[in-house]
Amino acid sequence: MEKKCEVCSESVTNPICGECLSSAVRSWLRGRYSWLIPEVSAMNNNASAKGPYAECVICGSRIDLCSGCYYEEVQKLLYRADPNIAHEFSSFFNFEMQNLKLEKEVSKVVVV
């Protein structure tokens, strides 16, 4: 059975869990934006325990969220901290197309 992301309903084609993806993001943040590492570390890509799921090809953990949705959530977090960091992240992790969508979504969010 095809594994679907619980957020976007697309197929999970890059089966890497949030912890493994987070490791790459934390490595990128280290040294330049280290103050954001705890927030990224606290993120979890396991949306729920229902339905079929994929297993991480690196560590074997359950995956309910595709890497695109995970990176989008990281990008939103970074955008709230500083839009320039989010754009740099987008460039480095090759998510330019999501940048336009993110700017529209974040502009609707009221930060307290």
Phi, psi of 81 (to 5 degrees): -70, -45
For residues 87-96, give the mean pLDDT: 78
H-type alpha helices, 1-112: 18-29, 37-41, 67-81, 83-92, 96-108
Quote the domain boundaries for residue 27: 18-108
In a domain, 30, yes or no: yes
Residue 93 domain-assigned (yes or no):
yes
Does any domain span residue 1?
no
Cα 69 from chain centroid (whole Å): 5
* Residue 85 falls inside a structural domain: yes
Residue 103 lies in a domain: yes
Query: 10 lies in a domain?
Result: no
pLDDT tens column, 51-79: 566 788 999 888 878 888 888 889 899 99
Q: Nearest to residue 82, comparing CAs of 33, 43, 45?
A: 33
Predicted local distance difference test score (pLDDT) of residue 100: 45
Backbone angles phi, psi at 11, to 5 degrees: -65, 145
Q: Which amino acid appears at position 59 of this protein?
A: C
Determine contact, residues 40/77, Cβ cutoff 8 Å: yes
Domains in the chain, number? 1
Establish if 7 belongs to a structural domain: no
Q: Is the dihedral of CA 78, 16, 91, 31 positive or negative?
A: positive
The whole-model pTM stands at: 0.73
Share above pLDDT 70 across residues of the chain, in percent, rounded to a whole number: 74
